[in-house]
Structure formats: structure tokens, C-alpha cells
């Protein structure tokens, strides 16, 4: 029994898994809350941000000093995002007042900022010689695939589609 009927676990939020689902099953729904989608992107964003800041510092620390610095940087990455989300919420409010944004929900507008900034960080990481460049490249590939999937979804005939 469910209270109330829930679409959770029957669809995806991001375009790439939705496209794959549509190819496999003929239909796809846009819903929030799939387990992998809930946890993986957030961890990936924090990781890219952390690596970007770590790379910026270009520190020679090793051992416990590196661990301490890493912990501080992880916290710094989190605080950075708190500030970025807040500043962006102000920008969104202004854009709404100026009727630049009308129907886009706040969290989707924030999503554009989060993914945009992370992509800039990933692009910067991908240019380096460190092992962290693989994380940057992986993010860029994921973004490219997701955007391609979004385009394909937009042009595939909408029969049997139940986008929510």
C-alpha cells in the first residue's frame, strides 16, 4: 500500500537516463528521487569543486598536513556553494522581478548555475597534467552526453511519452 501513489522509482530527472529508458521501454517520465540521481551528482559536484580548489593551491603538503588541508578545502567547497546558491537566489529574484525568468522554477534556475560553474571547474581541471583531469574529463563527457540526450528527447515524437 502506498500513501499516496508515488511516481518515485519509475523515472529519472536527467535527460540521459530518460533517453535510455525511452529506448529500452518506449516511455520515460521526468521525476525526482531516483537513488543514483539523488546522491551521485551532488557528490560529483563537490568532488570537482574540491579538486579545482586543491589544484589552484598547488600545495606540496603530504601526510597529515595534506589531510587537514583537504578537510578544510572540502568544507571550503561546501561554503562556496552555500554562498553561490544564496547569491544566485538573489539574481533569480531580480530576474523574476524583471520578467526575464517567468516559468522556470527556482531550483531549476539554480541547477543551471550549479552545472554551469561545475563545468567551468571541470574544464579547468581537464587542462591540467594531474590525475584530477580525469575527473574533469568525466564530468565534461557526462554533461555533453546529457545535453545530447536532452536534444534527442526534444525531437523524438512524443507518443508514449509521459513527461511530468
Partner 1 sequence: MSGPTAHLRRFAVRGVFWRQYLDWAIINVPFYFQPPLLFFCTIFFFFFAAATRRAVVANLAVVRPGSSGLVNHFRAFRTLHEFAWAITDAATFKLKQGTVACEIDGAQFLDQLATARGAIVLTAHIGNYDLGAGLFAQKFGREIRMVRAPEADEKTEAHLKSSLQEIGRGAVRVDYATQGALLSFDLLSALRLGEIVSIQGDRIAGAVAETEARMFGAPVRIPTGPFILALAAQVPLYPLFITRRGYRRYRIIVREPIVTLRSGRERERDIEAAVARWCSVLQEVITAHWEQWFAFTRGF
> Using only C-alpha atoms, what is the Rg of the chain?
19
User: Cβ of residue 100: shortest distance to partner 1, in angstroms?
Assistant: 17
Task: Decide whether 52 or 81 has the Cβ nearer to partner 1.
Answer: 81
Q: Minimal distance in Å, beta carbon 3 to partner 1?
A: 4
Residue 28 CB, nearest distance to partner 1 (Å)? 18
Nearer to partner 1, 141 or 156 (CB): 141
Is 2 or 25 the residue whose CB approaches partner 1 more closely? 2
139, 122 in Cβ contact below 8 A? yes
DSSP 60-71: ---HHHHHHHHH
Q: Rounded to the nearest whole angstrom, what is the least distance from the CB of residue 159 to partner 1 in the complex?
A: 26
Which residue number, 21 or 33, has a Cβ lying nearer to partner 1?
33
Closest to partner 1 by CB, 84 vs 140, is 84
* Smallest separation, CB 120 to partner 1 (Å): 17
Measured at the CA of 149, the angle between CA 143 and CA 154, to 5 degrees, comes to 130
Task: Confirm if 16 and 33 have CB atoms less than 8 A apart.
Answer: no
For 148-159, the DSSP string reads HHHHHHHHS--T
Binding site for partner 1 (CB under 8 A): 1-9, 13, 32-33, 35, 37-43, 45-46, 75, 78, 81, 85, 89, 92, 106-108, 110-111, 114
Residue with cell 511516481: 7
Measure the CA–CA gap between 113 and 56, rounded to whole angstroms: 21
Amino acid at each position: 500500500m502506498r500513501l499516496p501513489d508515488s511516481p518515485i522509482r519509475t523515472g529519472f530527472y536527467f535527460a540521459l537516463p530518460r533517453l535510455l529508458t525511452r529506448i529500452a521501454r518506449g516511455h520515460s517520465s521526468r521525476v525526482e528521487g531516483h537513488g543514483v540521481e539523488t546522491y551521485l551528482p551532488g557528490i560529483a559536484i563537490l568532488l570537482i569543486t574540491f579538486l579545482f580548489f586543491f589544484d589552484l593551491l598547488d600545495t606540496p603538503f603530504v601526510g597529515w598536513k595534506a589531510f587537514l588541508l583537504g578537510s578544510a578545502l572540502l568544507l571550503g567547497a561546501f561554503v562556496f556553494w552555500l554562498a553561490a546558491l544564496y547569491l544566485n537566489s538573489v539574481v533569480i529574484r531580480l530576474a523574476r522581478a524583471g520578467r526575464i525568468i517567468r516559468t522556470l522554477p527556482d531550483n531549476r534556475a539554480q541547477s543551471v548555475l550549479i552545472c554551469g560553474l561545475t563545468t567551468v571547474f571541470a574544464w579547468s581541471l581537464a587542462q591540467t597534467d594531474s590525475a584530477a583531469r580525469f575527473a574533469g574529463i568525466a564530468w565534461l563527457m557526462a554533461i555533453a552526453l546529457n545535453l545530447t540526450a536532452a536534444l534527442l528527447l526534444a525531437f523524438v515524437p512524443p507518443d508514449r511519452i509521459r513527461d511530468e
